[in-house]
């Protein structure tokens, strides 16, 4: 049997890096845990959310390490689930900051309250509160 993966670390490529960084850091409360390069404008930033991290890389036309073109996802290629304390208040704050609300907050039959917004590159972000019952 193979050893299981130890951790997942999702990374997004962002056309408007500054807007994406503000969305995840300022609006959703991510704390910077890594930056490259350490001085000057970053090409990559990792943000910590509790025990999770999210990486955001700048799309700037430079060649990517993996050799594939860097571009934001189009269509439903990635969806992030973000746990928040208050779905309604978070959606209201994100909408006021200009985030498109794709699904207004609603209660789901499995016990969670969920809403969907889009980040600055159009990635789907599901906001939910963990079912604590």
- Model confidence pLDDT, tens digit, residues 96-133: 999 999 999 999 988 899 999 999 988 899 999 876 55
In degrees rounded to 5, what are phi and psi of residue 95?
-65, -40
Determine if the peptide bond prior to 127 is cis (ω within 30°): no
Q: What is the mean pLDDT of residues 69-97?
A: 85
Cα 63–chain centre separation: 23
How far apart (Å, rounded) are the C-alpha atoms in residues 33 and 28? 15
Whole-number CA gyration radius for the chain: 16
For the chain, what's the residue count? 133
What whole-number distance in Å separates Cα of residue 54 and Cα of residue 47? 5
- Given pLDDT bands bounded at 50, 70 and 90, which one contains residue 76? low
Q: pTM to 2 decimals?
A: 0.84
pLDDT-above-90 percentage for the chain: 65
Torsions phi, psi for 29 (to 5 deg) = 85, 20
pLDDT of residue 31: 98
Is the pLDDT at 63 greater than 70, yes or no? no
| pLDDT above 80 for 69 | no
At residue 112, φ and ψ (nearest 5 deg) are -100, 155
């Amino acid at each position: 049997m193979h050893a299981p993966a130890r951790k997942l670390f999702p990374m997004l490529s962002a056309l408007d890096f500054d807007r994406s960084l503000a969305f995840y850091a300022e609006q959703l409360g991510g704390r910077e845990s890594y930056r490259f390069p350490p001085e000057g404008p970053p090409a990559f930033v990792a943000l910590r959310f509790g025990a999770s991290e999210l990486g955001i890389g700048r799309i700037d036309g430079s060649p990517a390490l993996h050799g594939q073109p860097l571009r934001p996802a189009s269509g439903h290629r990635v969806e992030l689930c973000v746990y928040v304390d208050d779905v309604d208040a978070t959606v209201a704050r994100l909408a006021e900051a200009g985030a498109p609300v794709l699904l207004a907050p609603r209660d789901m039959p499995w016990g969670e309250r969920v809403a969907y917004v889009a980040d600055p590159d159009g990635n789907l972000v599901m906001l939910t509160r963990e079912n604590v019952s």
